[in-house]
Structure 1
């Protein structure tokens, strides 16, 4: 795996990026890929505290009941999965829009977060002395999603050039991860256009029409038409029934 890009980055960033890609290229299954990526991020980038969460939708990934974790995240992950995941600042529409552009962001780049996300920062991350958080968004087979979290307890943050490097890394890792066996492609997308599938994910994640319109920067009437088309195409009687359809078509059980 080698990225094809004209983005100007320091040589050390390309060295680390290529090393991670080479490490992960040894994976033959998604489970192996998760473990190799976590180990490589630790060795190549010196990221000791990481998470790897997966789900059938963007927001659904944060509900992953079996995340892979390292470092100081491991002893607090049960607390996260018991309820804090719902307020994760990276599960917000702001994060969704930012990651669609760059694939890697730091929490400090998010503005106008809802009060629940601010509470998550103050009462969960900061309480556990995790002062900086970043995330990489990977696309898996069948349009499923992976969220790779990186956390720092020394308030160092991630430099802009490193964050740009991680965005390139996320794109390359997505391409590779989609080739791995053991993943089930959700079938609900089969009769939908790409835009309808995008809106369908947001509906399944519980977003209102107004929130979808704001997130995708499209008109409310356009959203309503797409939602109606999604429900009709998937033979769902309402949004709740559609959400159940989407969220039951998850990845195969992890080993």
Structure 2
């Protein structure tokens, strides 16, 4: 129509082309979005962690993933609660019995490295050669990465990821994990804060963080073996925790425990 110029100042504007130096490709950004879309609607911390395990396996191809959390990074690494996926029960049993205390990712040097870098490779941790050569390599794992996600006052999330198809965690994956941790931070802070509030509401139950997790999974219908595999602890340890949980909550069965937890 004569005299009509349209609503847009520049109707031919196009997206900014990515520079040749752009560290991440369009495919990498899709992987990033895929992980975030997987976890951002999680109902609680337990679901968030389990979704994160699956997302990192699916979008990155990590063969094994462990997600730990705690009030501090040192607590998350040494004593934090968490879930794992991708590892066999035999591998986890051997790790718990003979190798856990020798794991370089649990050494005193790692919190400092993670706070400084955010993401590290196991192969970069001093003294990791023997652990990788004698334990990981015979089990088909060539390297691992660790990622810190800082939730501020609510605590931290620490994620361990294993690879099998390359000598070390690829540089592109490291770059993408750096981007991922920044996007995950507000989600992690929210989930950790909500979980802390939920536990505070039942402060009359004198449960340790690990007992709380065992109780939560039992209330969701998981068997002792399933709980043990999810939390990478022994079945006997699950039984011990569950016995104390039932006594502390004055429940006589898992069904009653499920009702109590649903109301919490």
TM-score (norm 1): 0.61
Q: CA deviation at 1:78?
A: 3.0
**Could you tell me which residue of structure 2 aligns to residue 14 of structure 1?**
29
Deviation at 1:94, TM superposition (A): 3.9
Q: Which runs of 5+ in 1 are unaligned?
A: 1-5, 186-247
Larger of the two Rg values belongs to structure: 2
1:128-174 deviation per Cα after TM superposition (whole angstroms, max 9, x unaligned)? 22111111112346453322111122334322122011012122212
Indicate if the aligned counterparts of 2:123 and 2:129 stay in contact, CA closer than 8 A. no
Report the equivalent of 1:253: 212
* Paired residue secondary structure (2:212): coil
Work out whether residues 125 and 131 of structure 1, in 8 Å CA contact, stay in contact via their aligned partners in 2: yes
Task: Map 1:104-115 to 2 at 5 A.
Answer: 104-110=119-125, 113-114=126-127
Say which structure, 1 or 2, has more relative contact order (CA 8 Å, 6+ apart).
1
Q: Shift in Å at residue 249 of structure 1?
A: 8.2
SS at match of 1:183: helix
Separation in structure 2 between the aligned mates of residue 64 and residue 7 of structure 1, nearest angstrom: 38
Decide which moves more: 73-82 or 165-174: 73-82
**Counterpart selection for 2:113 from 98, 102, 109:** 98
* Alignment size in residue pairs: 185
Equivalent residue number for residue 81 of structure 1: 96
Moved over 6 A (4+): none
* Whole-Å separation in 1 of the counterparts to 2:65 and 2:73: 18
CA distance 1:19–1:34, shift in 2 (3 Å)? same
| Aligned 8 A contact 2:67 2:84 in 1 | yes
Q: What SS does the corresponding residue of 2:87 show, helix, strand or coil?
A: helix
How far apart are residue 86 of structure 1 and its match?
A: 2.8
3-state DSSP class of the match of 1:155?
A: coil
1:55 aligns with 2:66: no
1:129 paired residue among 128, 137, 140? 140
1:241 alignment counterpart: none
2:196 equivalent in structure 1 = 183
1:151 aligns to what SS in structure 2? strand
Tell me the TM-score normalised to structure 2 length: 0.59
